[in-house]
Amino acid sequence: MSATPIVLVSSDNRVFDHVRWHATPAQYLEAVLYGSGAIPLMLPSLGGALDLETILDRVDGVLLTGSRSNVHPSLYGVEPDVKYEPYDEARDATTLPLIRLAIARGKPLLAICRGYQELNVALGGSLHTEIQEFDGRMDHRAPISDHQDERYAIRHRIEIVPGSCIGRIMESDEIAVNSLHRQGIAELSPRLAIEATAPDGTIEAVRVADAAGFAVGVQWHPEYWVGSDNASSRLFQAFGAAVRAEAAARLPQPLAAE
């Protein structure tokens, strides 16, 4: 007996036609479905109104998506400024406690871009607000284009820590990734371990060192190329294996024969 795993997917607050929506880009939902073999379930960003314990009882993993919005600077000790906007405080109020609870309960967790930054902040780390302004850093922002394939194009290599979780998944010490971010990890949470770095030293991947199972964050966007890029596919396959194991563990166990 088996069950298709269910993955909780974070959402943003957006306004379309003067109406507030809870929204998630399609590529994340499709990557969960086709790349991990799981059912994606969107979580509305309703903060403390949500019973996260009950929600996590019913799912097998958590995917934290990227977003144009940034984690609010007050959450990691930086003064807010209009140049760091846009923010989504309703999402912050939802995802940060979700992260801490999911890790405490051993739920598989994959955090991407904004979700990766949320992971660091939720566990006590901080962020650089505009890394392209630092001497010696690459410009990690997306190219200006109306074509998404150009914006999400694979752009630079990253070096993977030998023997790391990402290294075992990729079976390599180096892969090439895309880059669409202006913020990055400043002070690393004491609960996170570095898994990969860009040539300029930017931390590109982490894992939760004390997690009971799969708990990984990446700064790039593997969801976009999950159907055609080997490294992207490998990451979602590994996440899929973790959530399938979680789903199997939640199934009622057969009674022992007398």
Between CA 163 and CA 213 the distance in angstroms is 16
pLDDT of residue 3: 83
Give the C-alpha distances (Å, rounded to integers) separating 146 from 82, 112, 149.
25, 22, 9
Cβ atoms of 236 and 63 within 8 Å: the answer is no
Catalytic residue ranges: 113, 221, 223
pLDDT of residue 254: 63
Residue type, 30: E
Between CA 56 and CA 50 the distance in angstroms is 11
pLDDT of residue 176: 97
Residue type, 29: L
pLDDT of residue 251: 78
Cβ atoms of 193 and 203 within 8 Å: the answer is no
pLDDT of residue 255: 58
Low-confidence ranges of the chain (pLDDT < 70): 1-2, 253-258
pLDDT of residue 206: 98
Task: Spell out the residues 6+ positions from residue 72 whose beta carbon is closer than 8 angstroms to its own.
Answer: 80, 87, 89, 92
pLDDT of residue 71: 96
Among 64, 113, 111, smallest CA distance to 221 is for: 113
